[in-house]
Amino acid sequence: MPEVLETSQDSAAAALEVRQLEVVFATDASPLKAADKVSFAVPAGRTLGLVGESGCGKSVTALAILGLVPPPGLITGGQILFNGDDLPSLPERRMEDIRGARISMIFQEPMTALNPVFSIGSQVAEALRIHRRTSRPEAWKAAVEMLARVGIADAAARAGDYPHQLSGGMRQRAMIAMALICRPEVLIADEPTTALDVTTQAQILDLMMAMQRDLGLAILFISHDLGVISEIADEVAVMYAGAIVEQAPAGELFERPLHPYTRGLIETLPGAGPRLPRLAAIAGQVPDLGALPRGCRFSDRCPLADDECGASEPTLAAAGERRRVACWKAAP
């Protein structure tokens, strides 16, 4: 497998590596590129934060990893390397063995993401029974243990509860139990705390970090919330209109953003500093994938844009030791 041998030293320990991924949605008008040459690696025991606004392609990227892009979306290029395999080229049956067992996913809205007609215990146990030869009572016992482990008090009794009987935080804990009961290597979390209150969000973030320590999980954490990303991610990739525009270790990214979009996002947030009469703002609207500007995809909203930016698109290039940025104007 030559692909595995030629990986860079950074991704040598990567549990999951995405290379030049392209996902296209065939529409009546023109095909929309929801993910355009997306590349990143998530090492075991670390968290990569994927941050961006609605429609930037972060969720599509996550679903592509599991082979769950909804039609009419298709993976049209690139590789997703996991354990020596290129996932998009695996047959569906082998993907089923990987989903939920070795790569798991949790979602934004645990109320709708859990099946309303089954108890949470049986939904957690099902994840185990799909992948391991387990008897029903054994799987139930393991599910109760897992529910207790993710902090559900009186798990033996709560396991019989249905999703609507639990609070939002408890439901998300049940989702996490379901995702982790088979001890996967990779966890993909798509806005897992967005629907929750702040105090519950803090509890769930703490739980995810604790589970990561215990299981050595590689986490791909997707969020629109820079604050959450800053508190949980080791490394951050910023997506805009289908492409990663900047990637850096979390500390460096927030301290010294290189891409004007990243800088704009950070500056627009009402922060902890002195109260200003007005907030900084990024002009214009989040772009429509069908109508991207020529050249750099951020050029129509960028304060630094000039003719060069409108003429050709910058590629994601190294900017310092562990940083990459796609901008003609980024100071090196």
Partner 1 sequence: MSDTPILEVRDLCKRFPVRGKGPFAGKSWLAAVNAVSFRLDKGETLALVGESGCGKTTLARAAAMLQPPTSGSVRFEGSEITGLGNRSLKPLRRRVQMIFQDPYGSLNPRLPVGAIIAEPLLVHGLGDKAERRQKAVRLAEQVGLKAGDMSRYPHQFSGGQRQRIAIARAIALQPCLVIADEPVSALDVSIQSQILNLLRDLRDSRRLTYLFISHDLAVVRHFADRVAVMYLGRIVETAAAETLFDAPRHPYTRALIAAQPVIGRGKRTAAGCLSGDPPSPLDPPSGCPFHPRCPLAAALCRESRPELEGDSGHQVACHFKNEGGT
Partner 2 sequence: MTGFLFQRLIQSAVVLAVMSFVIYWLMGLMPGDPIDLMISADPKITSEDAARLRALYGLDKPITERYLNWLGAAVGGDFGFSRLYAKPVPEALLPALANTVRLLGITLCLSLLIGLPAGMAAAIRPYSKTDYTINLLAFAGISLPAFWLALLLIIVFSVFLGVLPAGGVAALGGDGFWDQAKYLVLPVANLTIASVGGHTRYMRAAMIEALRQDYIRTARAKGAGPARVVLGHALRNALIPVVTIVSLDFGFLFSGALITETVFAYPGMGKLIFDAIMGNDYNLALVALLFVTLLILIGNLLADLAYAWLDPRISYR
Binding site for partner 1 (CB under 8 A): 53-54, 167-170, 197-203, 205-206, 209-210, 224-228, 230-234, 250-251, 254-255, 264-266, 268-272, 275-282, 285-286
Q: How far is the CB of 250 from partner 1 (least distance, A)?
A: 7
Is residue 68 close enough to count as binding partner 2 by CB under 8 A? yes
117 sits near partner 2 (criterion: CB under 8 A): yes
According to the 3-state scheme, what is the secondary structure of 30-45?
CCEEEEEEEEEEEECC
- 7, interface contact from partner 1, partner 2, none, CB < 5-8 Å by kind: none
Under the binding rule (CB under 8 A), the answer on residue 28 touching partner 2 is: no
Packing angle between helix 168-180 and helix 198-215, nearest 10 degrees?
10
85 binds partner 2 (CB under 8 A): no
Asked whether the CA dihedral 237, 240, 241, 243 is positive or negative, the reply is negative
Using CB under 8 A as the binding rule, whether residue 173 contacts partner 2 is answered as no
Find out whether 219 and 137 touch, Cβ atoms under 8 Å: no
Interface segment toward partner 2; rule CB under 8 A; list 98-106, 150-158, 192-200, 323-331:
98-106
What is the smallest separation between the CB atom of 200 and partner 1, expressed in angstroms? Answer: 7
Query: 33 forms bridges with which residues in the sheet?
Result: 24
The verdict on 174 binding partner 2 (CB under 8 A) reads no
Q: Note the residue count of the chain.
A: 332
Locus of tokens 């973030």: 205
219 binds, options partner 2, partner 1, none, Cβ within 5 to 8 A by partner type = none
Residue 281 region by backbone torsions, left for phi larger than 0, else alpha for psi between -120 and 50, else beta: beta
Going by C-alpha positions, the residue among 201, 273, 186 that lies closest to residue 232 is 201
CA distance 81 to 52: 23
List of residues contacting partner 2 (CB under 8 A): 66, 68, 93, 96-101, 104-105, 107, 109, 112-117, 119, 126-127, 130-131, 162, 164, 175, 178-179
